[in-house]
Amino acid sequence: MTDVLRIASSALAAQTIRLAVTADNVANATTPDYTEKQAPFVPMNPGVSVGAIVDTGQGVDLTNQMVNLILAKTAYEAAVNVVRTTNQMTSTLLAAV
């Protein structure tokens, strides 16, 4: 079960970075010469991490940024559910012992 928690915590950490990059993009959308940044995920064993922050060289598309925010929210919810379920399973297992 520790791998499950490691995967969930790595997902939360990666989404936190992705959310920060998205927030920077939105905050700087009207800044002259600012170009959109991305935080690509790198698969780990177990889990996921963020690679280098990449400058796309393109202007900020606010529609894409809103999609990124929705994806981050969904990923956070999924990771929190994994942690909750793992906690419930551990409690049930310990109660049976």
Distance CA 75, CA 77 (A): 5
Whether residue 30 is predicted with pLDDT greater than 90 in this model: the reply is: yes
pTM above 0.95, yes or no: no
Percent of the chain at pLDDT > 70 equals: 99
Is residue 85 within 8 Å of 5, Cβ to Cβ? Answer: no
What is the rounded distance in angstroms from the CA atom of residue 47 to the CA atom of residue 44? Answer: 5
1 pLDDT above the threshold of 70: no
CB 83 within 8 A of CB 5: yes
The two most distant CA atoms of the chain are separated, in Å, by 63
Structure confidence at residue 45 as a pLDDT band (50, 70, 90):
confident
pLDDT for the residue 2: 74
CA distance 71 to 69: 5
Q: Is the model's pLDDT at 61 over the cut of 90? A: yes
